[in-house]
Structure 1
Amino acid sequence: MSIHTPHRAATGDTVGQLADDLWTAVSAGDERTATEVVLGALERGVDPESVLLDVIARVQGKVGEEWAANRLSVAQEHAATAINERAVAALSLHPAARTAPTRGRITVACVDGEWHALPARLLAEVLTLRGWRVDYLGAQVPGPHLIAHLHRTNSDAVALSSSIATRLPTAHAAITACQAIGVPVLVGGAAFGPDGRYAFLLDADAWAPDARAAADRLAAGPLPRPRRDHQQLDDLPHLADQEYTLITRNSAALVRTVFTALEAAFPALRTYSELQREHTAEDLAHIVEFLGTALYLGDEDLFASFITWTAQILTARGVPARSLPPTLSILAAELKDFPRAVCILEHGTAALTRPDHGSRPYAPVDRSTAESAS
């Protein structure tokens, strides 16, 4: 497997030091040193899987935390992520990470519209290390392309990744399409909830909270082949009425209307620069998009989690989060004939006014959302 020292399990101290060294390099934008840290760990015999999951993934988690706290800009976050991706690529080519396939074939892909590819790439590398033949398709894979690939390769299963909850309707379509041709689907990523609640709601065949758990699940035995009586699309609440369809179809007009009304309700908006106004419109579009997803899933807490997280992000950037309640109120007035949407918006407003709203769980959103509001 390797021409170097046999692999050894990394101790907590080793992992911590490697993660610290990698973070120092990544946060400084030093790709050369970051790669040297990763390859040096392999040369010393540290298990490649541990380097991937206990070092690189850990540092990537810190990248997200530092961006949320406004200690990294979007550009710095993108650069750091790119360095981590190249560190993974360097690791995959090292002799210590060469493993002959001894298991079946797995396709790893991101949901269409999902650009956060590093979690899927980490899983693909871990599965490769564990002896699977892996087809890694990368970010934003359109459903028809995914299905065409499965027809061509006869994969044993699909591992589908999504980090942003607004991609869940698209994920649902991909899950259903894979199952329709008899291929089981394991899903993972922050979009599916910390406890996998949306994975089960969308009837995925399996869910894992992280790459190591996903690899363990696949190693435990084949995923069950999809049943003929699998849940159909019409089991979800979004087809019980037309709210989801009408709101998502008319989202651009809705954003324009709310923006105009917000200028009257929130006078500070009138002093914004043209760029700030553009960013505010983008933020409104994200709010409507999350509202649509909450309608699709029938989950008020998803929207409340997103809106309170947005308030925290705006506050960290010195942007007044007090504009959020009037925004939701205006949106509710525009949607007064949509009772489920109004209920979700009221739930979000109530969450904003609770003194403990800062303790609500993190809701993933496109990294440009809150940064752009500043």
Structure 2
Amino acid sequence: MLTAERDKLFALLGNADERGATAFVLDLFEDGTPPEDLLLDLVAPVQVKVGDFWATNRWSVAQEHAATHISERVVAALSARTPVSPTRGHVVVSCMDGEWHALAARLVAEVLRLRGWRTTFLGASVPAAHLVSYLHQEGPDAVALSCALPVRLPHAHRMVETCQRTGVPVLVGGSGFGPGGRWARVLGAAGWAPGAREAAELLERRWPPEEPPRAQLDHLVDDEYPTLVKRREELIEIALAALREEFPAMANYAERQVEATIEDLGHLADFLAAAVYVQDSLLFTDFLAWMTAILDARHMPPTSLIVPMRAYWQALYDFPRARGHLEAGLSLAQS
């Protein structure tokens, strides 16, 4: 569906043609394409392709930012053309604190609005305290929280827990909650939806849930997660030293290359910590599979992941759960 139109819109985004992209989508709407289809079958998959082009080094960060901005402008223009009087309850849609990927959440808010819900979209990276204050003031029927990256799950847990204390049931979505929403259940969210259509159907048919789930985080009684977070900078330094020993050519790295390496090592530590938080190696190995593709696009050898993982494993001799996730990662990287 809309395959040719996706190619056209992607080309317009690639040329940073905001006027052309907006006119193209609005013309499709005027020709009879339902606005929900334009949002979810055109804008959303094209935005996924934008992310893929950035991840595989075919587009720069600047190109990705420009394209995302235009996609947001297209959604806003389509929203202005499709006024709908609310006939259902009130849903607040927000991104997690620290979550800056807001377009997916905006699409959810727009689809719910088109289906008759009164929606309030709070945007990217909403601090938990401010969100809770807003929920107390407004008393919505549900709050929908978006999380694109699993590394934000510890923050997501705090936000889910804090929102539920206000008496407002929490619906979550986004790839950050893992395949099938497996980590949404771990965090105790009242509901999970893989996309905007599913979120709308869940709210229409089975909301609120009769028995909210209980968070499955009993393993956090130990101090492995908080101690691992405290040791983040130390781990990065250890791994950087191991990489320099393995790759003497790093002595000639420009400052930008060193900074990029440190950033990647930080991601590795952060995803390891998130895996420890939810006690699931899949979170870590999925990140490694994605990172392997990124490094391949940069023409970097797979040992650039294996070396820091070994360094982390040796340094974390008294962290059994972290070591277990690292062993799963090493097994994947060496296969």
Q: Would you call these one fold, judging by a TM-score over 0.5? A: yes
Letter in 2 for 1:253: E
| 1:136 is the counterpart of 2:121 | yes
Match of 1:231 in 2: 214
Match of 2:293 in 1: 312
| 1:260 is the counterpart of 2:247 | no
**1:341-360 alignment to 2 at 5 Å?**
341-354=322-335
RMSD between superposed Cα atoms in Å: 1.5
- The TM-score, its normalising length taken from structure 2, stands at 0.96
Match of 2:180 among 195, 201, 211: 195
Secondary structure of residue in 2 paired with 1:135: strand
| 1:302 is the counterpart of 2:273 | no
Q: Deviations over 1:217-244 (max 9, x none)?
A: 11224322665xx525xx4155232111
Letter in 2 for 1:329: R
Task: Work out whether residues 178 and 283 of structure 2, in 8 Å CA contact, stay in contact via their aligned partners in 1.
Answer: no
Gaps of 5+ in 2: none
Secondary structure of residue in 1 paired with 2:65: helix
| 1:173 is the counterpart of 2:172 | no
Q: Deviations over 1:16-65 (max 9, x none)?
A: 23222211211111111100011111111211111111111121111122
Task: Work out whether residues 108 and 136 of structure 1, in 8 Å CA contact, stay in contact via their aligned partners in 2.
Answer: yes
Match of 1:41 in 2: 28
**1:100-139 alignment to 2 at 5 Å?**
100-139=85-124
**1:354-369 alignment to 2 at 5 Å?**
354=335
**1:1-374 alignment to 2 at 5 Å?**
12=1, 15-94=2-81, 97-224=82-209, 231=214, 235-354=216-335
Secondary structure of residue in 1 paired with 2:140: coil
Task: Work out whether residues 237 and 297 of structure 1, in 8 Å CA contact, stay in contact via their aligned partners in 2.
Answer: no
CA-CA distance at 1:254 after TM superposition: 2.2
- Measured in 2, the distance between the counterparts of 1:225 and 1:282 equals 44
Task: Work out whether residues 84 and 113 of structure 2, in 8 Å CA contact, stay in contact via their aligned partners in 1.
Answer: yes
Task: Work out whether residues 259 and 281 of structure 1, in 8 Å CA contact, stay in contact via their aligned partners in 2.
Answer: yes
Q: 1:226 to 1:252 in 2, by over 3 A?
A: farther
Gaps of 5+ in 1: 1-11, 355-374
Task: Work out whether residues 307 and 348 of structure 1, in 8 Å CA contact, stay in contact via their aligned partners in 2.
Answer: yes
- The TM-score, its normalising length taken from structure 1, stands at 0.86
CA-CA distance at 1:116 after TM superposition: 0.3
CA-CA distance at 1:250 after TM superposition: 2.3
- Measured in 1, the distance between the counterparts of 2:322 and 2:247 equals 22
Query: How many percent identity over aligned positions?
Result: 48
Count of residues paired in the alignment:
335
CA-CA distance at 1:66 after TM superposition: 1.9
Task: Work out whether residues 302 and 333 of structure 2, in 8 Å CA contact, stay in contact via their aligned partners in 1.
Answer: no
